[in-house]
Chain A
């Protein structure tokens, strides 16, 4: 099986979806001739034509709104927002339209669209290019929010997102677009949405993460193993709706949980998981739930971003702390 980077896996999934289904369209800024600023759409316009791979004007609200209109007419648009920091003009379209078109027409119209955007920091990018604001999106009823964390899952989950009959926000971890490689067979097989992936089994502590930080979380688990702590690593993968049962079952086994995300702590998605454990997993807990997250600050510019982003050391420290209980 060929080894590909995460961004190459995205490209493979897009090409596969466009080959299989003539209603799949890709649209966004610089996605055509240039192949996207991260090259996720490279070669697609040459292969599928400018009417299926649309270089839009520089207007993010438009990209999301076009997707709604196209989707209502039976197309399957895959919009790209160049950086997550530029996604906010789309919030109106996502909250007021994409996520509720099916409901407000009682099933008459629907919105099978995907909005892809790079997610997170750590690439020394300019201001506004390193956001991780997935919790804002995961709060919107009617949406799906999916975060890829490896080439295999990027490929399989993006295919699933494109084939899903409802709107999906697909977040791609910028920092590991090229930093990780994995074997991906371009066989058109999707992975399930709404399902968390257990990447490593362990009995002592559950580490839950998503996106680029899955890499550090796995590294932390490796380090902990050397000290005799067996960490279970869960890639949540779909944040909305998320797989509560897998989380609860894991914590029932380990009794300890550390949640790791880049986003600011307050109201971050880790808070949702902590609340889930408080509501439905409390009696299985041997230790307080810990969160290793970005801080409640503005995402710093590159000189300080490493101080902001959760590190392997912060994850192992938190895991060791909860392992001292019970």
Chain B
């Protein structure tokens, strides 16, 4: 609780706020609280598990491609797989995802081809053409700048009376930006069907959470915008999925926006261009590995006798095969002709720029 520093005078309390935290699985996979009904469906949980392992396999492969000069700078999502899958799995195909650059797991769940993600990070715009739902947004690189888009998309849904939800993913650093506040504020005013999800991974490159905000939680930031926010254990996929489902159901029913703070940890460097050893002790990372989401869900599934060694081996091999095949397709991609940089600048290239396109084409074919 935040108290007045001085209390010479007793003032009446005119508002009370509380922030809830949701968690079902402990780091070792044991049950903290009775999970929601959907968790009884072990096939569903196994589908989450598969998606999380695939996302991690993909991430690790992408890093090795970058290290061997076959991919550009890549933003790794190691440790954040539960948040990505928990959120994306609660979405419907017609909903709109507005991801940030670290949300690979969510894109993969939405049907984006692995080779497309590689193509984008490999330096080719064709990668963000998105093989996922046609209305999803591409990765947003300038932090938090996609939040107003999410509010605009949600406004369009409400205006068109379509029961769809905009889902905006961002990191803890984004909560320091006005963009997010402006979007949340508007979403609150108009009760828009949008879910704001902060992947609170504790680090914005080298800046720790305590230097981003003095607020006790990020979830409470929605209180000022007039809507409900909650903190979930972002390494507990059941908790993330439950919060996401509840938020999307409410949004779809016209009850307005929600904010989810998924408490997690960035186990990797910020990107392949970063060296986190410069600013955070390895002991901290080591300790956080004990809370990571994949081992946690596996332990739970094993305890339910829904998962075993042979399935694990099969899954690992299958993910490896999928990723390897995608890498092969990515590496076989031929560069597009340079003059195609003009192709999607406008619906129709203005006459003024036709000469420039010819100049590029001439130079490349000379």
A residues in contact (CB < 8 Å) with B: 25, 51-52, 54, 56-57, 59, 61-62, 64-75, 77, 89, 92-93, 96-97, 102-110, 141-142, 165-166, 194, 241-244
CA distance A244 to B130 in the complex (A): 37
Indicate which residue in A66, A69, A142, A194 contacts B351 across the interface (CB closer than 8 Å).
Answer: A194
CA distance A57 to B351 in the complex (A): 39
Nearest B-chain residue to A167, judged by Cβ: B346
Beta-carbon contact of A73 and B128 below 8 Å = no
CA distance A141 to B166 in the complex (A): 28
Beta-carbon contact of B156 and A73 below 8 Å = yes
Cβ of A102: which chain B residues have Cβ within 8 Å of it?
A: 344-347
Indicate which residue in A54, A97, A166 contacts B347 across the interface (CB closer than 8 Å).
Answer: A166
Nearest A-chain residue to B181, judged by Cβ: A59
Cβ of B263 under 8 Å from chain A? no
Cβ of B343: which chain A residues have Cβ within 8 Å of it?
A: 106-107
Beta-carbon contact of B152 and A61 below 8 Å = no
CA distance A30 to B319 in the complex (A): 54
| Distance in Å: Cβ of A185 to nearest Cβ of chain B | 28
CA distance A141 to B357 in the complex (A): 14
The stretch among B132-140, B280-288, B300-308 that forms the contact with chain A is: B132-140
List 8 extra interface pairs beyond A65-B183, A110-B347, CB under 8 A: A25-B159, A62-B151, A69-B149, A72-B153, A73-B135, A92-B145, A96-B142, A106-B128
B residues in contact (CB < 8 Å) with A: 96, 125-126, 128-130, 134-135, 137-138, 141-142, 145-157, 159-160, 166, 178-179, 182-183, 185-186, 189, 343-347, 350-353
| Distance in Å: Cβ of A99 to nearest Cβ of chain B | 9
Beta-carbon contact of B153 and A242 below 8 Å = no
Cβ of B183: which chain A residues have Cβ within 8 Å of it?
A: 62, 65
CA distance A102 to B145 in the complex (A): 17
Cβ of B147: which chain A residues have Cβ within 8 Å of it?
A: 65
CA distance A65 to B346 in the complex (A): 19
| Distance in Å: Cβ of B174 to nearest Cβ of chain A | 13
Beta-carbon contact of B182 and A62 below 8 Å = yes
Beta-carbon contact of A62 and B148 below 8 Å = yes
CA distance A260 to B148 in the complex (A): 37
CA distance A224 to B159 in the complex (A): 55
Cβ of A62: which chain B residues have Cβ within 8 Å of it?
A: 148, 151, 182-183, 185-186
Give me 10 A-to-B residue pairs in the complex whose CB atoms sit less than 8 angstroms apart, sorted by A's number. A56-B186, A69-B150, A73-B156, A73-B160, A104-B128, A106-B343, A106-B344, A165-B347, A194-B352, A241-B352
CA distance A77 to B146 in the complex (A): 17
Cβ of A74: which chain B residues have Cβ within 8 Å of it?
A: 156
Cβ of B137: which chain A residues have Cβ within 8 Å of it?
A: 72, 109
Nearest A-chain residue to B126, judged by Cβ: A106
Cβ of A93: which chain B residues have Cβ within 8 Å of it?
A: 145, 148
**Given contacts A57-B189, A242-B352, are A75 and B159 in contact (CB under 8 A)?**
yes
Beta-carbon contact of B155 and A70 below 8 Å = yes
| Distance in Å: Cβ of B362 to nearest Cβ of chain A | 17
**Given contacts A51-B159, A97-B149, A106-B126, are A72 and B135 in contact (CB under 8 A)?**
yes
Beta-carbon contact of B346 and A142 below 8 Å = yes
Beta-carbon contact of A57 and B185 below 8 Å = yes
**Given contacts A96-B145, A241-B352, are A70 and B153 in contact (CB under 8 A)?**
yes
Cβ of A72: which chain B residues have Cβ within 8 Å of it?
A: 135, 137, 149, 152-153
Cβ of B350: which chain A residues have Cβ within 8 Å of it?
A: 194, 241
Cβ of B141: which chain A residues have Cβ within 8 Å of it?
A: 96
Cβ of B150: which chain A residues have Cβ within 8 Å of it?
A: 69
| Distance in Å: Cβ of B186 to nearest Cβ of chain A | 6
Cβ of B157: which chain A residues have Cβ within 8 Å of it?
A: 73
**Given contacts A72-B153, A75-B156, A166-B347, are A61 and B186 in contact (CB under 8 A)?**
no
Cβ of A69: which chain B residues have Cβ within 8 Å of it?
A: 148-156, 166
Beta-carbon contact of A105 and B151 below 8 Å = no
CA distance A244 to B350 in the complex (A): 12
Cβ of B351: which chain A residues have Cβ within 8 Å of it?
A: 194, 241
Cβ of A92: which chain B residues have Cβ within 8 Å of it?
A: 142, 145, 179
Cβ of B182: which chain A residues have Cβ within 8 Å of it?
A: 57, 59, 61-62, 65
CA distance A240 to B167 in the complex (A): 34
| Distance in Å: Cβ of A122 to nearest Cβ of chain B | 30
Beta-carbon contact of A66 and B159 below 8 Å = no
Nearest B-chain residue to A242, judged by Cβ: B352
Across the A-B interface, the 5 shortest Cβ-Cβ residue pairs: A69-B152, A65-B148, A73-B156, A241-B352, A69-B149
Indicate which residue in B138, B148, B189, B347 contacts A61 across the interface (CB closer than 8 Å).
Answer: B148
Cβ of A141: which chain B residues have Cβ within 8 Å of it?
A: 345
CA distance A106 to B178 in the complex (A): 29
| Distance in Å: Cβ of B355 to nearest Cβ of chain A | 9
Beta-carbon contact of A70 and B134 below 8 Å = no
Cβ of A52: which chain B residues have Cβ within 8 Å of it?
A: 159
Cβ of A103: which chain B residues have Cβ within 8 Å of it?
A: 125, 344-345
Cβ of B96: which chain A residues have Cβ within 8 Å of it?
A: 73
Beta-carbon contact of A105 and B179 below 8 Å = no
CA distance A50 to B37 in the complex (A): 41
Cβ of A97: which chain B residues have Cβ within 8 Å of it?
A: 145-146, 149
Cβ of A110: which chain B residues have Cβ within 8 Å of it?
A: 347
CA distance A77 to B153 in the complex (A): 12
Beta-carbon contact of B130 and A108 below 8 Å = yes
| Distance in Å: Cβ of A123 to nearest Cβ of chain B | 28
**Given contacts A62-B186, A66-B186, A194-B351, are A73 and B152 in contact (CB under 8 A)?**
yes
CA distance A6 to B324 in the complex (A): 62
| Distance in Å: Cβ of B63 to nearest Cβ of chain A | 24
Cβ of B179: which chain A residues have Cβ within 8 Å of it?
A: 61, 65, 92
Beta-carbon contact of A66 and B151 below 8 Å = yes
CA distance A57 to B135 in the complex (A): 27
CA distance A141 to B353 in the complex (A): 11
Report which residue of A65, A67, A77, A110 has the largest number of chain B beta carbons within 10 angstroms of its beta carbon. Answer: A65
| Distance in Å: Cβ of B236 to nearest Cβ of chain A | 31
Beta-carbon contact of B352 and A105 below 8 Å = no
Beta-carbon contact of B152 and A67 below 8 Å = yes
CA distance A64 to B185 in the complex (A): 15
Cβ of B130: which chain A residues have Cβ within 8 Å of it?
A: 105, 108
Nearest B-chain residue to A113, judged by Cβ: B152
Cβ of B125: which chain A residues have Cβ within 8 Å of it?
A: 103-104, 106
